[in-house]
């Protein structure tokens, strides 16, 4: 008796359907993607599971794929409605959809939507220790090998949106010991952006100091009680 194929192995029909959706993304044919994918939620959900679990696609989701090509917010919202856990999923480089959005310079509405859907992803560090805020602040960042993009300096609106979701990300350093603030300076960011990042980092340090003092006071109280 023939053994059952693994769930992650793509059959011909599923591969054809999946390729149709991925090609529509690359072509930025959002109407085709909406009609063939989002408007068929059951089939779309099944393909999304295949996409994320297949080693061939390195943990990529439809959000990861779409965000590389500047999709309208309605597409991002449509994907998330069908697959609510997608904004939190990470690819083989430990990058979330928010990493990709920040890295390609997506518009502030898309950044805000993703940050609100999964605020915890603002602190997620990829394989190089970078958070979405690092990508947002680094105009020279390269998300994918061989892919070059011209980026404007980080905007106040984008940085503010990411910090509003999680201000502590301003104090995180990557594998090169670089903070988002340092990348912003090298990227010739506006002084408003620089000051915003400085204030967020200072706020995080003060929060850590307050927590440390509180623990010390608790330890003192326990010792006195003993």
User: Does residue 2 surpass a pLDDT of 50?
Assistant: no
Q: Sorting pLDDT into bands at 50, 70 and 90, what band is 13?
A: confident
Q: To which residue do tokens 């670089």 refer?
A: 178
Q: Is the pLDDT of residue 150 over 80?
A: no
Residue 171 half-sphere exposure, CB side, CA atoms within 13 Å? 13
Higher pLDDT: 10 or 58? It is 58
Residue 144: the pLDDT is 78
Tokens matching residue 107: 């518009």
Q: What percent of the chain has pLDDT over 90?
A: 73
Residues 98-127: what's their mean pLDDT? Answer: 95
Average pLDDT, the chain: 89
User: Residues 138, 113, 168, 175: is their CA dihedral positive or negative?
Assistant: negative
- pLDDT of 214 strictly over 90: no
SS3 93: coil
DSSP state, residue 36:
I
Token couple for 70 = 């500047």
Nearest to 124 by CA among 72, 162, 71, 77: 162
Q: C-alpha angle with apex 61: 57 to 81, nearest 5 degrees?
A: 160
> From CA 99, how far away is CA 102, in angstroms rounded?
5
Q: How many C-beta atoms surround the C-beta of residue 103 within 10 A?
A: 25
Among residues 157, 162, 82, which one has the least CA distance to residue 120? 162
In contact, 11 and 47? CB cutoff 8 Å: no
* pLDDT tens figures, 84-93: 999 999 999 9
Residue 69 buriedness (CB in 10 A; 0-12 / 13-18 / 19+): middle
């Amino acid at each position: 008796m023939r053994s059952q194929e693994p769930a992650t192995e793509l059959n011909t029909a599923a591969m054809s359907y999946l390729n149709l959706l991925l090609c529509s993304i690359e072509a930025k044919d959002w109407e085709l993607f909406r009609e063939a994918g989002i408007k068929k939620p059951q089939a779309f959900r099944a393909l999304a599971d295949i996409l994320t679990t297949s080693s061939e696609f390195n943990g990529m989701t439809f959000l990861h794929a779409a965000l590389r090509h500047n999709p309208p917010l309605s597409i991002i919202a449509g994907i998330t409605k069908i697959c609510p856990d997608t904004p939190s999923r990470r690819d083989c480089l430990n990058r979330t959809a928010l990493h990709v959005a920040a890295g390609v310079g997506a518009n502030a509405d898309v950044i805000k939507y993703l940050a609100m859907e999964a605020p915890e992803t603002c602190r997620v560090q990829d394989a190089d220790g970078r958070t979405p805020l690092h990508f947002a602040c680094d105009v020279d960042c390269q998300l994918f090998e061989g892919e070059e993009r011209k980026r404007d300096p980080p905007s106040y609106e984008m940085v503010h949106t990411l910090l509003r979701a999680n201000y502590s990300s301003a104090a995180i350093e990557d594998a090169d010991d670089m903070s988002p603030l340092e990348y912003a300076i090298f990227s010739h960011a506006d002084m408003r952006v620089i000051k915003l990042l400085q204030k967020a980092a200072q706020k995080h340090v003060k929060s850590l100091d307050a927590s440390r003092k509180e623990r010390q006071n608790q330890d003192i109280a326990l010792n006195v009680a003993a």
